[in-house]
Amino acid sequence: MVVSIIIAKFDIPKVFVAKLCDAEGEAAETQAWLDYAMACNYIDNRTHSALNDKFDHIVGMLVNMSNKPENWSF
């Protein structure tokens, strides 16, 4: 039942794009925490750079999906 509700909601591209925007915001927040972790010397510059690059890639994918939601929604 829950899966059918999710699929029904994602049938509407605006709702799908809104969820993608939420995910993009969460990824950006994680990047801010990575900056904080490096500033506090919890992680080194190499680790920060590697993780930040991965999140840049994730954000890029989310943006691409937001630009053409009809390719991704049911």
Domain boundaries, the chain: 2-71
| Angle (deg, nearest 10), helices 2-10 and 13-39 | 100
Give me 58's structure tokens. Answer: 């994730």
Whether 1 shows a pLDDT value over 60: the answer reads: no
Cβ neighbors of 9 (< 8 A, separation 6 or more) are 15, 16
In the predicted model, what is the mean pLDDT of residues 60-64? 91
Which tokens hold the place of 7?
């699929």
Place of tokens 């390719």: 71
pLDDT classification of 4: cutoffs 50, 70, 90: low
Taking only the tens place, the pLDDT of each residue in 23-42 is: 999 999 999 999 999 999 99
pLDDT > 70: percent of the chain? 82
Helix residue ranges, H only, 1-70: 2-10, 13-39, 45-67
Mean pLDDT value across residues 42-71: 92
